Amino acid sequence: MPYVPDEARYQTMPYRRCGRSGLQLPALSLGLWHNFGHIDALENARQILRLAFDRGITHFDLANNYGPPPGSAEENFGQILKSDFNGYRDELIISTKAGYGMWNGLYGNGGSRKYLMASLNQSLKRMQLDYVDIFYHHRPDPDTPLDETMTALADIVRQGKALYVGLSNYKPQEAADAFGILQHLGTPCLIHQPRYSLLDRWVEESLLDLLEEESVGCIPFSPLAQGLLTTKYLSGVPADSRAAKPHGHLQEAQLTPETLDKIRQLNELAQKRGQTLAQMALSWLLSDHRVTSVLLGVSKPEQLTDSLQCLNKLDFDDSELDAIDAICPVTKS
């Protein structure tokens, strides 16, 4: 049966303006970093994407190397986009990135004009799109002049292959330098995507203030610290968890007694608030007006349903914020 989106999809999701632009993003966006590659079930990915759109999530975030294997998340997304979302492209914000290693040889990594242009062309073919809404440089490249990278991003917008540009994983000074170049080129940076969670608060040192000062949006990734900010690890390492996978991004060695103690304390606070730990972690990020949207990563529709409930309670009183600061003080980058 053909997919027909929920007619009430825009009635429950809050939307926030991104920096000084005219673009609004949903408070929660869907990241396709894991669980959407060729090693994953396509039907499961389809159900997650359908549920997301039904609940007002209009922003889907990818990168050239998402999978595994690299490129497969974009291929699968393009397939589902064509079969299920045909006719709804103009209701979607689709982003992708380039910066990390994608193909062999000298030109499949970094920040050169050659790499960025070629990578986006490949991404558009995989997703069967004429353009993306946001194209990010995925990480700083110390071996490429910043002017070259930013000029390539600006030219991509002029070519109509992206509507906006963003940065990811840039530290404050790197970001400030990039913002200045992009502003001079007439293509201001729309959004910055840093790693940020209750357990990883480095952006509070100065990056969030910089983004507010420059009117650049903020969309944190890894808001649940690769699953640490859930209850799944409080009684050991589940066999199907990321920490149980030998080559996963979360390793069992990260589950130190100190980290587990923080998770237990945060879980107790979440229970007092009437939330799950994951819901509180997401609500806490969204309680900061400088955060435009938060990127969710889920492996099944039920996880998405649970995460969406964070929107029911975004307020924190001073005692709760003080308790969080005591458990998880701001960390330096």
pLDDT surpassing 70 at residue 244: no
**What does the mean pLDDT of the chain come to?**
94
Q: How confident is the model over 258-271, as a mean pLDDT?
A: 96
Q: CATH for 15-230+289-299, among 2.60.40.10, 3.20.20.100, 1.10.287.810, 3.30.70.860?
A: 3.20.20.100
Q: What local confidence, expressed as pLDDT, does residue 245 receive? A: 47
Q: What would the pLDDT profile of 35-61 be if each residue is shown by its tens digit?
A: 999 999 999 999 999 999 999 999 999
Beta-strand pair 191-193/217-218: parallel
User: 110 exposed, middle or buried (CB, 10 Å; 0-12, 13-18, 19+)?
Assistant: buried
DSSP codes, 128-140 = T-S-EEEEEE-S-
Query: What is the length of the chain?
Result: 333
Percentage of the chain lying above the pLDDT 70 cut: 94
Each domain of the chain, given as residue ranges in start order, spans 15-230+289-299
pLDDT surpassing 90 at residue 240: no
Is the distance from CB of 157 to CB of 131 less than 8 angstroms?
no
Which tokens is 183 given? 């502003």
Q: What would the pLDDT profile of 294-327 be if each residue is shown by its tens digit?
A: 999 999 999 999 999 999 999 999 999 999 999 9
Q: What local confidence, expressed as pLDDT, does residue 250 receive? A: 55
Q: What local confidence, expressed as pLDDT, does residue 219 receive? A: 98
Q: How confident is the model over 166-189, as a mean pLDDT?
A: 98
Confidence band (pLDDT; 50, 70, 90) for 90?
very high
Confidence band (pLDDT; 50, 70, 90) for 255?
confident
Q: How confident is the model over 240-259, as a mean pLDDT?
A: 63
Of residues 50 and 248, the one with the higher pLDDT is: 50
Is the distance from CB of 302 to CB of 47 less than 8 angstroms?
no
Is the distance from CB of 269 to CB of 280 less than 8 angstroms?
yes
Q: How far apart are CA 98 and CA 75, in angstroms?
A: 15
Beta-strand pair 24-26/28-31: unpaired
